[in-house]
Amino acid sequence: MGDVRSMLTTYRHLVGAKIRSDWQYRTSFVRYLLSQTVVTALDLAVILVLSEVVPSLGGWNLSQVAVLYGLTTLSFGLGDLFVSQVETVATHIQLGTFDRFLLRPLPTIVQLPASEFALRRVGRSIPAIITLVVALSMAEIDWTVDRLALVPMTVVAGTIIFGAVWVVTASISFWAVGAREVANSFTYGGGFAHQHPLHVYSRWVRTLLGWILPMAFIAYVPAVHLLEAPNPLGIPSWLALTPPLVAIAAVVVARTVWRAGIRNHQSTGT
Amino acid sequence: MFGYLRAYILIGVAAAGGGEVAGWDEGLMVTFAFITQSLLAGTGAFGEQELAERIRSGDVVVDLYRPVDVQLWWLASWSGRSAYTFGSRGIPPMLLGAVVFDLRVPPDAATWIVFALSVVLASGIGFAIRFAANLVAFWLLDSRGVDQLVTLVLTFFGGLLVPIVLFPPWLEAVARLLPFAAMAQVPAEVFLGLHPGRGALTALATQLAWFVALLALGRVMLGAATRKVVIQGG
């Protein structure tokens, strides 16, 4: 237990230092924050544009798709804020600077996100939260206690699942250093894909981005139950309660893959 | 991956619209998703910072006293890279798309020729915009914000997210008035055969006009910048 506490203290110090240093360049910080917000809002603009043209996508109306956008983008934004920095491992391996992380008495999986922490990434979550709140109030949901609890639970589990996906895809770099773009197409691709109902995609996309990388549990599965939306894939409603279990499983897998990666790691020797 | 995702979403849109939206059927939508993906890298849609970096570090001085025109020098370097990226990063998305979908490829040589010219001009416009955006570094030192802004506006108004024909009419009109459509939407439409006959000439002429106008803008900015530049030592 003491271990965990000292780890958290170190994490807090590292992140705090990073935030203070970013804050030295305030204009730059604010500009980046805004650009992150606008990038994310563009995806919302797409949904709005499409809803002008056709009343529904895959049978889901605007407010239902907007709920999906809100859930996915919020989880993605939080994952981006806290975990996505693991992808810099590719650069560190290439430059040989990863060895430094290995020498320090803190797990690499904690060090990387902490030392590359960037508060400006919170910009992604801003349009997501606003959209989620507005869309949930517009979506004519039959609010019950369990449905109310489902929303924060989904966001937390979703963030963890996205984080795990980031760790797993970043781990590819231990075996193939140049594979960062492949990794990005899964993380960013997933973040984009799940803003729309899963059933608009073909089977192989659903299998890969929905179930193998279990990102269907980030928004689509709980949303089907929450919104009582058209459900052509026949997702049973009990599945809506499983995201926390999926999150735990995802963390276990991510941890195993990351460790295997580190064992496989051969320094460049510089 | 993004090509596939956008293709399926657009198929969903076409289906919801009863097979056709704004006169675009599924085949057009799918091909559009992949052809725009192919155009991304070659037109510099991901941003370009090399010149701005040289301005920041002062290396630009070397560029300024070379006995060649600065803008043409950079255009030449851009053209070479762009030609290579069209091959290396432009062809794979179309091939990958063709594995799963029946893509609509131009039936006649004439369309291919117009398309080739249109792509060259699109790349040229891409250069002219980025050149001007990079020159902002003479005044701001850090022009990354401007570069990002260009990328964002291009992504939306160039039709790289959804074809601008799906925009509400007033927004499409705005998009058509901006140079960004000429970088992605227009070459894609040419590829899809939506500018037949004389329409092709109009499309190319508009692109050429933008290319020239934006080059001129870059030239004016360069003139203003070189008058104010102060060289620190040697």
Pick the residue from chain A with its C-alpha nearest to B156. A42
Token pair for A189:
């691709």
Q: Which domain holds residue A232?
A: 2-264
Instruction: Confirm whether B7 is domain-assigned.
Output: no
Cα dist. B82→A267, B39, B45, B76, B125 in Å?
35, 10, 11, 10, 12
CA distance A241 to chain B (A): 27
Chain segment A221-254, per-residue pLDDT in tens: 999 989 888 888 988 888 988 999 999 999 999 9
How many domains does chain A divide into?
Answer: 1
Interface of A with B (CB under 8 A): 28, 31, 35, 38-39, 42-43, 45-46, 49-50, 52-58, 185-186, 189, 192-193, 196-197, 200-202, 205
Residue A33 within any structural domain of the chain: yes
* pLDDT higher than threshold 80 for residue A178: no
Q: Does B113 reside within a domain?
A: yes
- Domain presence at residue A270: no
Q: Has residue A138 been placed in a domain?
A: yes
**Distance between A160 CA and the closest CA of chain B, angstroms:** 23
B229 against B218, higher pLDDT: B218
What residues in B contact A52, CB-CB < 8 Å?
Answer: 166, 168
Of B145, B155, B166, the CB nearest to A50: B166
For chain B, the first-to-last Cα distance in angstroms comes to 49
Q: What is the pLDDT of residues B17-34, one digit of tens each?
A: 888 888 889 899 999 999
Domain presence at residue A134: yes
A137 domain-assigned: yes
Task: Establish if B57 belongs to a structural domain.
Answer: yes
pLDDT exceeds cutoff 70 at A163 = yes
Q: Is residue A223 part of a domain?
A: yes
Give domain status of residue B93, yes or no.
no
Residues of chain A found within 8 Å of residue B5, distances taken between Cβ atoms: 189, 192-193, 201, 205
- Residue A93 to chain B, least CA–CA distance (Å): 24
- Report which of residues A178 and B12 the model is more confident about: B12
Residues A181-213 have pLDDT tens digits of 788 888 998 999 999 999 999 999 999 999 999
Neighbours of A58 (CB within 10 A): 21
This complex has an ipTM of: 0.83
Using one digit for the tens of pLDDT, what is the confidence trace for A125-161? Answer: 999 999 999 999 988 888 888 889 999 999 999 999 9
Chain B residues near residue A53 by CB distance under 8 angstroms: 13, 17, 21-22, 166
Query: What are the chain B neighbours of A28 within 8 Å (beta carbons)?
Result: 142
Report if residue A269 sits inside a domain: no
Cross-chain CB nearest to A49 (options B145, B148, B162): B162
Domain count, chain B: 1
Q: What is the count of residue pairs from A and B with beta carbons less than 8 Å apart? A: 69
What amino acid occupies position A131? Answer: T
pLDDT beyond 70 at B208: yes
Interchain pair B152, A202: CB under 8 A: no
Which domain, by its residues, includes B143? Answer: 47-83+106-228
User: What proportion of chain B, given as a percentage, has pLDDT over 90?
Assistant: 51
